[in-house]
Chain A
Amino acid sequence: MNRRIMDILKKREVLLLAIIVVLSLLVQVRAPSFLTYENLANVLKACSIVGIFSLGVLVITISGGFDVSFVAIAQVSEYLVVWLLLRYVHGNLLVAFLMAILVGTLMGLFNGFLIDHFKMPAIIITISTQNLFYGIMYVVTKGRLLYEVPDYLGKMSNMKIFAATAKNGAAYGISGVTILWFALALAVAFFLRYTMKGRSIYLIGGNATAAERIGINMTHSTLMIYGIGGGIAGIAAIAHISVIMTVIPNSIVGTEMDTIAAVVLGGASITGGTGSVFGTILGVLLFALINNSLTLLQISSSWYNVFIGGVILLSIFVNALQERRHLRQKVRVKVEMQEV
């Protein structure tokens, strides 16, 4: 077969797309309500928050870093922003976003500073800051819920683009949160592909020493990468409030690993250097589809983790298989060269 076609087929995105299509068709046979505009719009809305989180995680993962504190960052900025909006600031959606991004970025920068300053593994630092952020928030807020979230925050998720009406009269459509996710995805994709800074992240993840040698300032880069991660977590925070309209201090605790799994499933290497926005979106979508099809097929939701775990293990195994074959080819080429 043509080599270029082979190369394209080997890409993670194609594999994921194939799995998604096959899964969709299988579910469609058993549950005809699956491939309807209403259901798909709901699925997209449900996974938008994880989708937004995953973009920040993607940037950090590409750089060879690791972050488990992003959910804690989002939770803190959520609480802080709503509290400020209720007490002191008469804002609107834009103000809320700006404040959340600011708070999130600051916490991300704190991560970046510690990682760069101590030259410690990111996983250790971010586990500590995760506990630190959560802990401080709990102690200060005493775990109180905030109910009276300003209405203008909810408008975003209730927005219905390409609206349609269901048989029972309820309107549905693409949510504003989904639009936010895709817009942000485009922005991140543009940043990673077409800007110097974005491309340098791939280099840092692939070979940090080489990156330093060609004159990339590692301190600035680390701060930038974790700052972006924090900022995106701040955006996710506002999207999350917009959907649930209550600030519950522990509502998203413990979902870190789900997002990281989705990013890794999307083809980002945990050791850094590779990863794409498209793949990440597909990873998030696959998890959302599994969840949705369990509901539609009336399978107990306790099976969710089994499927997710199975998919993760299978995909990394396939990846390892490909890499082994790739390595063998390389060796063969070397041998042939020597014979010549």
Chain B
Amino acid sequence: MKKTRFSKSENYPLYVTIIILFILMSLVNGRKFLSWDNVSAMTYQMPMIGLLALGMMVSELSGGINLSIVANANFNGIFIYVVLNALTKGNMMAANGGQFILALVLSFLMTMLIGALNGYLIAAWNIPALLETLGMMTLLKGISLVITQGYTISDFPDSLTFLGGGSVLGIPMSLIIFVAVCIIVHIILDKTVFGKQLYFTGANPVAARFSNINVNKVIIKEYMLSAFFAYVCSLIMIGQMNSVKATYYDSYLLIAVLASFLGGVDPAGGFGKLLGTVLASIILQIISTGLNLMRLDPFMVTATWGAIIIIVLFGREIAGKFSSGLKRKGAVQ
């Protein structure tokens, strides 16, 4: 058989998995799964997993990891609340356009600062990323808890909740933002010098250093990019929950690591594509929605997410043996 471009693609197994899962879930759940409501609910929820997984992926490109991403997103939401609250003297609902934009800009700068600090400590001081971001995660979560005293804070202005929770012509805003972010990041990773340098640094930091790449600068920028995802996440979170809290989406932290891994990211650095991670997020979302429709326990979803990695690993091994066996047969003939 002539190999098509499709089957040569490295994401081929992911496409197949998505199709199989989609058919499987449609067979089990019938109309409910294929209904317009369900599909649009899926596109409404998926960006959250997707953004966290992409933020994780970016941090893993240099061989690092960003455990502070969820804490950063929550903290950012709370920071927006603090700024808006101070600007409007306690009446957030009545925030006008200027105050609204000022809050968004200030919180954006704050997130970038956190990302830059992460990158600086990791790159310039040679601190393992796992440790540094673990410390940052605890610190940010702590500050969020101190500000909110553990309570949920709601009553955000409609213009802000529209960003993450609204929809245009039936398409959820979260999906539009997600696609926009994907396009921007795709350009950054694949079309700019920084992107090339980042992949190179991850694949071989020593060679990168000798090729006159400022590795520290690349890593600082990388963690700022990772923090950018936390920023977008916080906007979507505010929109979908209509509130902020110090502990939203805590359990998604490790799921984001799984999703990036499923998408073909090598945690040792240097490899990983945007598309793969997005596809992996879609897979996780299909499983989650499908199992929810079957009225299974939400923890069954967690178990399945965990099992998927192990199944994928076994599958890859068996497929590897199978194809090497075929090759050997071919050689004999």
Contact = CB atoms under 8 A, between A and B. Distances in A.
B313 interface: yes
Contact of A135 (B267, B306, B317): B306
A128 B309 contact: yes
Given A124-B309, A130-B306, A308 B261 contact: no
A305 interface: yes
Contacts of B134: 257, 260-261, 264, 312
Contacts, number: 151
Given A300-B146, A309-B142, A135 B303 contact: yes
A139 interface: yes
Interface in A293-316: 300, 302-310, 312-313, 316
A132 B132 contact: no
B136 A128 contact: no
A114 interface: yes
B73 interface: no
Classify chain B: how many residues form its interface, as a range.
35 or more
Given A135-B306, A320-B125, A310 B139 contact: yes
A37 interface: no
Contacts of B136: 309, 313
B19 interface: no
B142 A305 contact: yes
Contacts of B137: 257, 309
B143 interface: yes
A121 B125 contact: no
B310 A306 contact: no
A317 B303 contact: no
Contact of A131 (B139, B142, B250, B254): B254
Interface string B133-147: 011111111110110
B125 A317 contact: yes
B138 A257 contact: yes
Contact of B250 (A125, A130, A254, A305): A254
B130 interface: yes
A217 to B, nearest CB: 21
Given A257-B138, A309-B136, A313-B139, A302 B150 contact: yes
A92 B227 CA distance: 52
B304 interface: yes
B245 to A, nearest CB: 12
Interface stretch (B92-100, B167-175, B294-302, B325-333): B294-302
A121 B302 contact: no
B134 to A, nearest CB: 6
Contacts of A124: 257-258, 261, 267, 309
B64 to A, nearest CB: 12
Contact of A136 (B258, B303, B310): B303
A322 to B, nearest CB: 11
A316 B127 contact: yes
A134 interface: yes
Contact of B306 (A128, A143, A300, A312): A128
A183 interface: no
B126 interface: yes
Contacts of B39: none
A298 to B, nearest CB: 15
Contacts of A121: 267-268
Interface in B267-282: 267-268
Contact of A312 (B135, B268, B309): B135
Contact of B142 (A135, A136, A303): A303
Nearest to B65: A123
A123 B257 contact: yes
5 contacts: A118-B317, A123-B257, A136-B303, A254-B251, A306-B143
Interface of B: 65, 67, 121, 125-128, 130-132, 134-143, 145-146, 149-150, 250-251, 254-255, 257-258, 261, 267-268, 296-297, 299-310, 313, 317
Given A66-B130, A129-B306, 20 more contacts: A127-B257, A128-B305, A128-B309, A128-B310, A134-B299, A134-B302, A135-B301, A136-B303, A138-B297, A139-B297, A257-B67, A257-B138, A270-B128, A305-B138, A309-B142, A312-B135, A313-B135, A313-B136, A316-B131, A319-B127
